[in-house]
Structure 1
């Protein structure tokens, strides 16, 4: 039995769809929605686990509203730290397996080099600190778990940078986008694809997972507009002005360096051809085109 928590989120949705396409029977795949399982009630979570006895848990659920977490630290702590601890306890007690997702925000985020898994950690925001606490809780409780640190996640559905940019492009003629935060935009479908390989091998430990290459949010926005216009998803491309992070203050501090070295995961999975972030964007744009999405709500 496989349990997917957060099956309606970006990564959870893509992974659920891929597992179904791979032939996982409906009665072997648990994807409870919020009305079926309230993840903020840890007693109910424990009861649900004991009732269904999953042998694999995929935890794609999290508190991901980075800025809002600054004013809701208790909820972020519950979902990002306490919930993973409960899952890890179950995993250890039942000799099961956990796949959990974390974030590049746990790193110090300095310099201009790609950060490997052993790079210095220095989470700066409530979101980042609670995600790091979740990692530590899992590692302290069980060795039967893989933790994937992802970066700049987006998809053709849901709330993310790509869909926000497409909406703003239809509303405004000019945009100002941060140009000094650097990372690799990573599609949820790619994360799901690699997650399946991790599940097949039952890898354990902490691994970075992001597309290849690097860009800024400004560069990502330009690529989004260029591809969307070429596919007919945008009739007009807005002008885009690069700005420093200092000119766009937010409640939560974000790292300037979100580059991730994914060579450890590549080696563990034996994947030589690691796709570039532009190929991921092209795939997601083509999915939007196939869906004939002319307006993406945020």
Structure 2
């Protein structure tokens, strides 16, 4: 199995590279934006033609949700054109394309969990660009898996867990949004899920290509997520005292880009198809000291 990983220094790309390096039966080419500009179709095609991957995993993305409202062209270049070029290149060498997407493709006002067949209606540039990327991948490459996820965190990169630990060490009280709900998702679990699917494809199993949701359980609000983070941090001696937490509304914490109130993703399909269980985000916090490095 020959796997090309893009965005290898991102939250998920880091773990993809780390986990794949342990498999002697896999030849991996892991590239960051300095070594492969996915917005250049010529560069993408040249790399794919030379390496001849059997699987391409695209973990590269413009994930700065608020900045995307201003950096519209850049967001679409990275989140739409890049995946499109990779998918065309994958098709040209008969490779499968695995692509990471987001809960932001939905409006975020549904009651209950979003399924893969629910109507998409992004509310900002980031979601629009990611949805355009999904459609481009599906159109350009027959063998494609689009994996939507949400609330990603891990020991590598910037994320909510690291922000909370930093602020908790600096302040006695914090106000956290309590009316947005979703499933925190451990980046290493996303990586292992993608590798699991890649192995199934490589083994020649009958794969149901298309869109899948993968995120964490149980679903919580940002306030509840923060509350758990601080409980674990105090228990393990990372911080001496838990800050006082106050639940606020989305209206009380305005941002340039609109956040979905509901980011709950149903993971039933991926569990039934690939026997992949939802990410256990509470277990991922057990090594919380690693998030402070």
TM over 0.5: yes
Give the structure-2-normalised TM-score.
Answer: 0.93
Q: 1:248 aligns with which of 247, 253, 260?
A: 253
Aligned to 2:100: 101
CA distance, structure 2, for counterparts of residue 259 and residue 267 of structure 1: 18
CA distance, structure 1, for counterparts of residue 156 and residue 88 of structure 2: 33
Deviations 1:247-291 (A, max 9, x none): 1010001110101111011000134xx35x6x42332441x43x4
Provide the secondary structure at the position in 2 that maps to 1:143: coil
Compared with structure 1, are the counterparts of its residues 211 and 283 closer, same or farther at alpha carbon in structure 2 (3 Å cutoff)?
Answer: same
Q: 2:231 aligns with which of 226, 233, 244?
A: 226
CA distance, structure 1, for counterparts of residue 136 and residue 39 of structure 2: 17
CA distance, structure 2, for counterparts of residue 282 and residue 213 of structure 1: 11
Q: Tell me, yes or no, if the aligned pair for 1:156 and 1:284 is still in contact at 8 Å.
A: no
Question: C-alpha displacement at 1:197, in angstroms?
Answer: 1.6
| Structure 1 residue runs of 4 or more that deviate by more than 4 Å after TM superposition | none
Q: Tell me, yes or no, if the aligned pair for 2:178 and 2:222 is still in contact at 8 Å.
A: yes
Aligned to 2:91: 92
Deviations 1:221-245 (A, max 9, x none): 0000001111111112111100010
Q: Tell me, yes or no, if the aligned pair for 1:89 and 1:141 is still in contact at 8 Å.
A: yes
Gaps of 5+ in 2: 202-206
Question: C-alpha displacement at 1:24, in angstroms?
Answer: 4.2
Provide the secondary structure at the position in 2 that maps to 1:67: helix
Question: C-alpha displacement at 1:156, in angstroms?
Answer: 1.6
Q: Tell me, yes or no, if the aligned pair for 1:102 and 1:150 is still in contact at 8 Å.
A: yes
Gaps of 5+ in 1: none
CA distance, structure 1, for counterparts of residue 25 and residue 174 of structure 2: 44
Q: Tell me, yes or no, if the aligned pair for 2:62 and 2:79 is still in contact at 8 Å.
A: yes
Q: Tell me, yes or no, if the aligned pair for 1:227 and 1:282 is still in contact at 8 Å.
A: no
| Range with greater deviation from structure 2 (42-51 or 208-217) | 42-51
